Chain A
Amino acid sequence: MRRTFAGILFLCLLPLAGFAHVGSPNVVFEGQAGPYPIRVIIRPPPVVPGLAEISVRALTNGAQRVSVLPIHWRAGFKGAPPPDVAKPIPGETNLYHAELWLMTGGAYSVHVSVEGAAGLGTVIVPVNSMATRRLQMTGFLGALLAGLGLLLFAMLVTIVGAAVRESVLTPGLQPARRAIWRARGAVTLAALILATALFGGKRWWDNVDRHYRNNRLFKPVEVMASVQSDGIQHTLRLEIDDKNTGSLSWAPLVPDHGKLMHTFLVREPGLDVFAHLHPTRRSEKRFEALLPPLPAGEYRIYSDVTHENGLSKTLVATVAIPDGPAGSLTPNETDPDDSWHVGKALEVARPASNGEANAANAQVVRLSDDIVMLWERPPELIANRDVSLRFHVLDGDRQRVRLEPYLGMLSHAVIRRDDGTVFTHLHPAGNLSIASQQVFELRTQQGQVRKRITPEMMEKMCRLPSPEESRRAFSFPYEFPQPGVYRIWVQVKVDGRVRTGVFDAEVSVGTSQIGS
């Protein structure tokens, strides 16, 4: 029964899937705009053309002016209007707000500029622009429009009747019976003509809606997932069928942290198995990955890809993994950056006490015999409010462990709501596609709309974390899109091995800071 419900829910969620992340369309970025550390949240519109909202929080004092400029990937700087100045939000410190006009579908780069005493700093935040919603009319509005329409209909036919009956009469004369009957005939005829016009209008509306659904509404990318077995090992195969057209169509991919595809597997319904794999491309739309020794079960698959036009997508599928063959893979046989975790991490009863960590709200899980991960859990997590999820990795002496870069980052996190309505892949820089950001930086450096982006060009854009950063606490900026229970998997690399900490979080109801 539960599985059936989950299946129905999955079908309901398909319209949300396919664009970057699932049920979490807002883009969150935290990083440097020149000398200024900032956090940016972009809330894209559900239809295009539409207005996106952007909030920029300066994380230190000194910012005096914040401006934003969205640039479509195909137009470039040459076709850009002057940037908009973001206005400070009353009652908030260092929080600015602006609206962005996204006029066409496809990837946009939002150039966020901060000016202050330390000069000018700019950073690029990519955002997908695509229609993702089919709006139904509310009952009240429908009734209001129907009432007004009926009134207009009745008035118009009455006007026709009055025009035929008495408009040409000399003032003071009363209409003759013949004129009255002619007016009645005219009213009937006008009603028929008007009804025909309304019928035509309804067909016109239906055509517009059909065109919107077929050509402008983003279509979830269909992925056929299967497990192939040769008796020795299991291979996960993903076959992609993208029916989107124009700027949203399937374009060449660019590597993100050196990988064309990042695939996450989560076992349903307990969310007790997690894997982070990197399938290899076998053809343009077929990818394969050797499966690690995962326990059998129904798995939900999420695959992140980034196109060379800057568009990022999350492909969603389900697959049933059978029991592993006798000679299942060992870690040495898979992609060296693949990782997996079975079971919820063991929670340590006694919170760690570290000078910087807030022990009162801390939650600690064990990563190995002598390493723990500590989450400085905020007192309250509220939906639609930006939050920093801050973690420490400590050794037996409660000292910070040196983290090694894992896929070019110090840490990765995956967040999923328990019912599957939300999925997102986070980095310390936020949930944006780093590859998309790099693509736009490349295009900006070139000063033109570059047609092709090569892996070598992307490789040069990668920046590894500094040694100083590797011994610091790390955090993920995020904005939970809805209340509920979430599971968070946090991955770090220590002593050459990827370790995964698993946490649960309950998020309460809240409203947007901008709207509130």
Chain B
Amino acid sequence: MNSIVPAAMGQMAQAETTSTAIPRLKAIPWYCYIVALAATSILTGIIWDISWHSTIGRDTFWTPAHMAIYLGGTLGGFCGGWLVLKATFWPRPEERASSVRFWGFHGPLGAWVTIWGALAMLTSAPFDNWWHDAYGLDVEILSPPHSVLAAGMYTLVAGALLLLLSLQNRSGPAQGTVPGSGLFVYVGAIMLAMCSIMVTEKSLPNQQHAALFYKIACWQYPLLLVALARASRLRWPATTVALIYSALTCAAVWILPLFAATPKLAPIYNPVTHMVPPQFPHLFIVPALAMDLCFRWIGRGRGGWRDWLLVLVIAISFTGLFFAVQWHFSKFLVSPAAENWFFNGKGFFTFADQRGDHWGRFWRLQEDAVTLKAIGICLVLALFSTRLGLWWGNWMAKVRR
């Protein structure tokens, strides 16, 4: 089936070594910047699009926000496609050696993943267009065609992570900064921001005294932060990811309101005059710092009892610290004291949100109270999430192609 493998296929359970030597990288290859740019473009487009819908309301296929998303998809897809074509038809020895086989073609795993992401994004376009004709223009954010688009975007960013990882894991010693490791945590922070955006509708400051917010957080974030921290070679990876996430989100919070805009869809219950920014970022920085400390104290060795101890300690620390920090911080965010350009207290409400006292208080306190049982569920979710994150991170730390 393939010209490279017959020898290996013929021998039992032994890897055969070829003579390809991988030169040590001194600079980051161009494609790493391209996929990082693609991920940045997608995140920018998502934040911009949400702001567009929150401020102006009406949109078309050709809004700049949509163009940013599709630019990201195009960049990632073409970049992955080029890497595959190069490794298949005009390969240097090290390129072919660091590829995986795919239907007779060769290319880095990350390239295939970005191609898949771009193709999924492309597929979502005619599907979404038909969906609008059948059920109306974006009745709900979470719809099957939007899920295909979201899957494409997430996968493309995951492909960027894999491309950077393979570069990092092939370069230099097992510890310390190597080419691509900085870009890896940057793209990881983009992934974290995308994950938080995905659950925005359940994560407003007014919802941060209800149990659902903490259940979502304990399920979603440890998995990603632990996986990134495990795979990264930086000294403080989770903290760095949380810091970059906070910086990216704060940039959106502070920059978007600088642009004047008014709603163009009725009914307008909140006559905004500037682009609506997202809410202030979650304070992941505290549990992320604790996570890094856990890794440093318990050790980064993989497998065995250390991993299970890490799961236990990280899950407990994440649940406890995130709960303690965000619970009190949200009190500040819903108060009048946060109504300024820096914290954007109530500035994230859209033109279609009816103003009222409910903006200044917590919601669903009775129906979804934070009880001991709810905290217990959060802890269990965090345990599962951390365990999965460690497995995922252990695998990512070994990806070399």
A interface vs B, CB < 8 Å? 47-51, 70-72, 74-75, 78-82, 101, 103-104, 131, 134-135, 137, 141, 144-145, 148-149, 151-152, 155-156, 158-159, 162-163, 165-178, 180, 201, 204-205, 208-209, 212, 216
Chain A residue numbers with a CB within 8 Å of B58 are: 101
Chain B residue numbers with a CB within 8 Å of A176 are: 8, 13-15
Chain A residue numbers with a CB within 8 Å of B143 are: 208
A interface footprint on B234-266 (CB within 8 Å = 1, 0 otherwise): 000000000000000000000000000011111
User: In angstroms, how far is the closest chain B Cβ from the Cβ of A247?
Assistant: 12
Query: What separation, in Å, do the CA atoms of A513 and B255 have in the docked complex?
Result: 44
CB pairs A–B below 8 angstroms (28 shown): A47-B135, A50-B137, A71-B266, A75-B267, A103-B265, A104-B267, A135-B133, A137-B134, A145-B127, A155-B115, A162-B102, A166-B100, A167-B401, A168-B399, A171-B170, A172-B17, A172-B20, A172-B22, A173-B16, A174-B8, A174-B15, A175-B8, A176-B8, A176-B13, A177-B8, A204-B144, A209-B135, A216-B139
Query: What separation, in Å, do the CA atoms of A411 and B15 have in the docked complex?
Result: 93
Chain B residue numbers with a CB within 8 Å of A137 are: 130, 134
Contact B15 A49 (CB under 8 A): no
Contact A177 B401 (CB under 8 A): no
Contact A208 B144 (CB under 8 A): yes
User: In angstroms, how far is the closest chain B Cβ from the Cβ of A133?
Assistant: 8
Contact B18 A174 (CB under 8 A): yes
B interface vs A, CB < 8 Å? 4-5, 7-9, 11-22, 57-58, 94, 97-98, 100-103, 109, 112-113, 115-116, 119-120, 122-123, 126-127, 130, 132-139, 143-144, 147, 162, 166, 170, 262-269, 395, 398-401
8 tightest Cβ-Cβ pairs between the two chains A and B: A75-B267, A174-B8, A79-B267, A172-B20, A162-B100, A135-B134, A171-B97, A171-B98
Contact A175 B5 (CB under 8 A): yes
Tell me which of A70, A81, A145, A163 contacts B126 (CB under 8 A).
Answer: A145
Chain B residue numbers with a CB within 8 Å of A165 are: 100
Tell me which of B109, B115, B262, B401 contacts A82 (CB under 8 A).
Answer: B262
Q: A137-B134, A159-B109, A177-B13 are in contact. List 16 more A-B contacts (CB 8 A).
A: A49-B138, A70-B266, A75-B268, A79-B267, A79-B269, A81-B268, A101-B57, A145-B127, A155-B119, A167-B109, A170-B400, A172-B19, A174-B4, A174-B16, A177-B11, A216-B136
Closest to B401 in A: A167
Chain B residue numbers with a CB within 8 Å of A175 are: 5, 8, 15
Query: What separation, in Å, do the CA atoms of A151 and B133 have in the docked complex?
Result: 25
Chain B residue numbers with a CB within 8 Å of A172 are: 17-22, 97
Contact A47 B134 (CB under 8 A): yes
Contact B137 A178 (CB under 8 A): no
Query: What separation, in Å, do the CA atoms of A47 and B130 have in the docked complex?
Result: 12
Report if A141-B136 is in contact (Cβ < 8 Å); known contacts: A80-B268, A173-B16, A201-B144: no
Contact B116 A156 (CB under 8 A): yes
User: In angstroms, how far is the closest chain B Cβ from the Cβ of A333?
Assistant: 49
Query: What separation, in Å, do the CA atoms of A175 and B100 have in the docked complex?
Result: 10
Contact A80 B266 (CB under 8 A): yes
Contact A74 B17 (CB under 8 A): no
Report if A49-B137 is in contact (Cβ < 8 Å); known contacts: A70-B266, A82-B262, A173-B16: yes
